[in-house]
Amino acid sequence: MDSLNSTLSLNTAVVHPPFFYINGFHNIPHAKYYYVFLCFVFVVSVLGNSFVIFAIYTERSFHTPKYMGVFNLAVADLGESTSLIPNLMAMFLFDSQYISYDACLANMFFVFYFSILQALTLSILAYDRLVAICFPLRYHAIVTMPAMAVMLAVVWGITALFMILLICLIIRLSFCKSIVVKSYFCDHGPIFRLACNDTLPNYIMAYSCIILFVYLPLILTVLSYAFIAGALIKITSQEGRFKAIKTCSAHLMLVAIYYLPRIGTYIAVEARTLHPNARIINTSLAMAIPAMMNPIIYVLNTEEVKEFSKKLFKRKEIQMK
């Protein structure tokens, strides 16, 4: 606290504390078991997404626009898990919940950056399925490798710009109330609410990001599936309809796993019916679980990936013999 007081006296205009205290799971009973669970989630996420990245990179038949999107989703999953869970593990193992100001901003940037990439990539994959089912004859002319690369590049660029702006709006804040962050990572909302100068731009930025990167991608995804449902009704053969539904099943599960916990938590928080500890547990699960489940769902529900997995394991068995 002495270092914080010295910082206050040196700069009366903008006060940046030397560190923040991440309250996290401090007041949650039996939190150590939850840390163990998150460690398991992290290991599965890293192994699963690394496998998906390896499979798409090495198998030439996966060098298609659809799998370029899946590759991007796996990178986003891996990035989010790596920026979120290891910090939690370090807090638990070393019993230190302090994080430096600069490290806190970096943590905020990368956690939100990769989380937003997940949402936008799911929307791009929904567009891919829309074109594949509604315009099957024109699919290869519309969804090309260059077109998919441009869409993904735009997503990465726009997300980076918004996150840089978000961090710049935090840097302009002066912190003189507290350094205790009531979250499990350097969360944007709990941090800017600690400031003692004007936080209106931060509120506007927070709600803008929620609308642009949570609700808008969800609306676009729902609209895509509304058009897909209309196209499925026109398919007369039962077999053709089932085949079309099967191509969307994996993506639909990913969308549900990503959005339902987040939106449920947002609604409960706004209605003030959620205990702070429950909010922390719910939001941490909503961010950690999709990164673990995405590769599992794609491996189990995509025939091409299952075939690649079988060939890979057979090759390993032959080499071992």
One-letter identity of residue 12: T
Domains identified in the chain and CATH numbers: 18-320 (1.20.1070.10)
Q: Which portions of the chain are predicted below pLDDT 50?
A: 1-11
CA 89 to chain centre: 19
Neighbours of 231 (CB within 10 A): 15
The per-residue pLDDT for 312 is 73
Give the up-direction half-sphere exposure of residue 92: CA atoms within 13 A in the CB hemisphere.
20
pTM of the shown model:
0.88
CB 299, CB 48: distance < 8 Å:
yes
Identify the three-state secondary structure at position 33. Answer: helix
Give the span between the Cα atoms of 159 and 167, in whole angstroms: 12
Tell which residue, 157, 158, 156, 131, has the closest CA to residue 144. 131
Q: How far is CA 172 from CA 111, 166, 175, 195, 197, in A?
A: 21, 10, 10, 10, 9
The per-residue pLDDT for 102 is 94
The per-residue pLDDT for 8 is 43
Between the two ends of the chain, the Cα-to-Cα distance in Å is 63
Written as six digits, the tokens of 14 are: 């903008």
The per-residue pLDDT for 163 is 96
CB 91, CB 31: distance < 8 Å:
no
Compute the mean pLDDT over every residue in the chain, rounded to the nearest whole number. 86
Residues 6+ apart with CB under 8 A from 75: 49, 53, 117
Give the span between the Cα atoms of 318 and 321, in whole angstroms: 5
The per-residue pLDDT for 72 is 96
Strand order from edge to edge, sheet including 180-181: 98-100, 19-22, 180-181
Q: How far is CA 292 from CA 143, 239, 279, in A?
A: 28, 32, 20
The per-residue pLDDT for 320 is 62
